[in-house]
Amino acid sequence: MKHFRKMIWPYMIWAGIIVVLPLLMIILYSVTKGGNELLNIQFTFENFKRMTEPIYVDVFVKSFKLGIISVIICLLAGYTLAYLITSFSEKVQSVLILVVTIPMWINTLLRTYAWISLLSDNGLINTVLVKLGFEPINMMYTDFAVVLGLVSDLLPFMVIPIYTSLSKMDHSLIEAAHDLGANRFKTFWRVTFKLSIPGVLNGVIMTFLLSISTFVIPKLLGGGQYTLIGNLIENQFISIGDWNFGSAISVILAFIILMSITFMKKIDKDEIEEE
């Protein structure tokens, strides 16, 4: 036991430096004013009060709106894809999961630029439409472009947790449900879906939190007119230099993330207790 405690100390020190210390700094900046000079700060809650202004409330509302839409699309597409993958043999499943995760190996910036080349007015899609005799469609700098970019970027984070839950499921339970007279829909809803709820919740948490905190996709596919929470934090730290207000927004976002995780875990616990 003593040897184990000695081994864990380097990890604790490293975690304190790269996780705890920056978090404490962000909390300190959020309740102070005076810029990024620690020797010239004054404690205040004005940074949090500023977020009640309509312009910042709109940013949070817009972020949550696009985040929820992205999660719903990812859930429908991701669950279907994960369910189909589990219907193949184990060797084929490994290949298909590899195909799903390959896009994650490519930098997000490069993937976003690829969507720009497809969706722009002179992009590949509109070029094909014009050659087929149709009018070009304005897709860039719209909700559609931003949501499409978010879904394509976050879909693997929904597929993998759901696939993990489905692949670990005891298939004898499905056979038992059929033997007891349950049709395919009842079997799926009462057995398959319920057993996959932990994966669904993990996927929903990851995709939602990543969608409301990202800043590259809204900035490029939204043409600068889409300011979400991630963009707002980036602007405060990099462009404006208001570290205090940027830290306050980060603290609120961290609180939202914590509450979301707690809520989802409570739902998961309630489902387990019901079973």
Does 111 fall in a domain? yes
How far is Cα 243 from Cα 56, in angstroms, rounded to an integer?
16
Kindly report the CA angle at 242 between 239 and 246, in degrees rounded to 5? 95
Q: How many CB atoms lie within 10 A of CB 132?
A: 7
With cut-offs at 50, 70 and 90, classify the pLDDT of residue 8. confident
What mean pLDDT is reported for the chain? 83
Q: CB–CB of 205/260 below 8 Å?
A: yes
Q: CB–CB of 229/249 below 8 Å?
A: yes
What DSSP designation does 181 have? T
pLDDT of residue 84: 93
Does 8 fall in a domain? no
Residue 162 domain boundaries: 53-274
With cut-offs at 50, 70 and 90, classify the pLDDT of residue 148. very high
Domains identified in the chain, total number: 1
Does 12 fall in a domain? no
pLDDT digits (tens, 9 = 90+) for 218-239: 888 887 677 788 888 888 888 8
Largest CA distance in the chain: 76
CATH value at residue 149: 1.10.3720.10
Does 27 fall in a domain? no
Does 18 fall in a domain? no
Does 42 fall in a domain? no
Does 43 fall in a domain? no
Residues 6+ apart with CB under 8 A from 146: 66, 217, 218, 221, 222, 226
Provide the 3-class DSSP secondary structure of residue 35.
coil
pLDDT of residue 239: 81
Does 47 fall in a domain? no
